[in-house]
Amino acid sequence: GESVGLHLPTLSVQEGDNSIINCAYSNSASDYFIWYKQESGKGPQFIIDIRSNMDKRQGQRVTVLLNKTVKHLSLQIAATQPGDSAVYFCAERYGNNRLAFGKGNQVVVIP
């Protein structure tokens, strides 16, 4: 089927290395941020979230960093595995849990 990753910025990473995916958000009033992973032909899968009163949050093999000064969000994946190959989206919350999504970054893991 048609890939959601078409024409997206692509990060190629060697298996076992760490990956860093970056996202710039637009609204300085946004108070909640989420990272999603989307594999081809599937819906986005929740990875990790962070509130604006935090600057770092860790999950299993993932860390999200938030820099409100420059409106920047990053997702770090430790020891990248082939199953991490996907499109990664950031989203920022505005209004009543309405989310604005970035266009996404394609991650390709090289075995």
Partner 1 sequence: DGGITQSPKYLFRKEGQNVTLSCEQNLNHDAMYWYRQDPGQGLRLIYYSQIVNDFQKGDIAEGYSVSREKKESFPLTVTSAQKNPTAFYLCASSISAGENQPQHFGDGTRLSIL
Please give the residue ranges that form the binding site for partner 1 (CB under 8 A): 1-8, 31-32, 34, 36, 41-46, 49, 51, 89, 93, 96-104
Residue 19: CB minimum distance to partner 1, A? 20
Is 32 or 78 the residue whose CB approaches partner 1 more closely?
Answer: 32
Residue 15: CB minimum distance to partner 1, A? 26
In terms of Cα–Cα distance, which of 69, 82, 78, 77 is closest to 110? 82
Is 15 or 55 the residue whose CB approaches partner 1 more closely?
Answer: 55
Is 2 or 29 the residue whose CB approaches partner 1 more closely?
Answer: 2
Residue 101: CB minimum distance to partner 1, A? 4
